[in-house]
């Protein structure tokens, strides 16, 4: 099903860095410029407008548990280049040394405040900075850890031809990913077997048919999903 059957801890065949992605759609310059302008304007606006909320969340995290306020995790971005994704820390300090990179809803590493932040997707707010500096876009396939990218088939690597994003079709479809993996004894394996194939299909669909109108639709649907609990 995958390029190989290796899981974390086994050797990797693909290294991070610039790569040639055969079969990737040709870039549309006007769309790319409009998308980047949108990202810059609204990411900058978001950082400024949300600064009081971001400060409050940071203070609550610091009071709740020991460790840094932000989580910095290495992910694979456009053209296979690695970058550090930013999130509010929702797990105990040094969580990566205590378990896998996939997090079920009932993962014991999640802190009390972290559980609330993850439920409302508030832990993703620091990625506004990733968007601002160009590591990510508001819309695009979610970035993966290196071992997961190493399992991609040549066709799947097409997703690396675009900037990864905060949201996309796959994020909307699997907003309850943690709930799906609840009770799993091997979350990394179950993610690759049960969730990855459909997420990748949706990510490839986005890359091949992306447009500014599609991006706006995804953002609108994402905002609707995020704020829906507050409206009910």
Q: What digits encode the pLDDT tens for the residues 90-143?
A: 999 888 888 889 999 999 999 999 999 999 899 999 999 999 999 999 999 999
Task: Report yes or no: 77 and 135 within 8 Å, Cβ to Cβ.
Answer: yes
**Structural domain tally of the chain?**
1
Q: Kindly report, residue by residue over 58-98, the tens digit of the pLDDT.
A: 999 999 999 999 999 999 999 999 999 999 999 998 888 88
Round to whole Å and give the CA distance between 92 and 170. Answer: 27
Would you state the pLDDT for residue 13? 39
At 7, the pLDDT band (50, 70, 90 cuts) reads: very low
Is residue 54 in some structural domain?
A: yes
Q: State how far the alpha carbon of 185 is from the alpha carbons of 22, 73, 103, 141, in Å.
A: 36, 23, 11, 26
73: in domain = yes
Q: pLDDT at position 131, please?
A: 98
Question: How many whole angstroms from its chain centre is CA 184?
Answer: 21
Angle (nearest 5°) at CA 131 between 125 and 132: 105
Say if pTM beats, i.e. exceeds, 0.75: yes
Q: Is the CA virtual torsion 87, 91, 92, 94 positive or negative?
A: negative
Task: Work out the average pLDDT over 155-183.
Answer: 96
Please report whether residue 16 resides in a domain: no
CA distance 139 to 218: 7
pLDDT at 225: 86
In a domain? residue 122? yes
Q: Could you tell me if residue 145 is inside a domain?
A: yes
Rounded to whole angstroms, the Cα distance separating 79 from 68 reads 30
The reply to whether 18 falls in a domain is no
Q: Which domain holds residue 56?
A: 30-231
User: For residue range 172-200, what is the model confidence (pLDDT) as tens digits?
Assistant: 999 999 999 999 999 999 999 999 999 99
In a domain, 20, yes or no: no
Closest of 149, 12, 134, 120 to residue 60, by C-alpha: 120
Judge whether residue 27 has pLDDT over 80: no
Residues in the chain: 232
Q: Which residue has the tokens 């405040």?
A: 113
Residue 63 within a domain: yes
């Amino acid at each position: 099903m995958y390029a190989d059957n290796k899981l974390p801890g086994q050797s990797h065949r693909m290294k991070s860095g610039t790569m040639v992605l055969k079969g990737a759609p040709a870039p549309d310059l006007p769309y790319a410029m409009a998308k980047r302008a949108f990202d810059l304007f609204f990411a900058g606006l978001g950082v400024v407008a949300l600064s009081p909320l971001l400060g409050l969340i940071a203070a609550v995290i610091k009071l709740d548990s020991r460790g840094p306020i932000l989580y910095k995790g290495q992910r694979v971005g456009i053209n296979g280049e690695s970058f550090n994704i930013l999130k509010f820390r929702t797990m105990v300090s040094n969580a990566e040394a205590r378990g896998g990179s996939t997090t079920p809803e009932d993962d014991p590493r999640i802190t009390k405040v972290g559980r609330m932040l993850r439920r409302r997707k508030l832990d993703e707010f620091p990625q506004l900075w990733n968007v601002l500096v160009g590591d990510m876009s508001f819309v695009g396939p979610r970035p993966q850890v290196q071992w997961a990218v190493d399992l991609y088939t040549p066709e799947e690597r097409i997703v690396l031809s675009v900037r990864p994003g905060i949201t996309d079709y796959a994020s909307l479809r699997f907003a309850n990913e943690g709930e799906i993996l609840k009770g799993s004894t091997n979350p990394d394996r179950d993610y690759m077997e049960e969730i990855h194939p459909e997420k990748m299909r949706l990510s490839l669909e986005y890359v091949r048919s992306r447009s500014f109108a599609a991006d706006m639709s995804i953002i609108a649907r994402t905002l609707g999903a995020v704020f829906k609990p507050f409206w009910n």
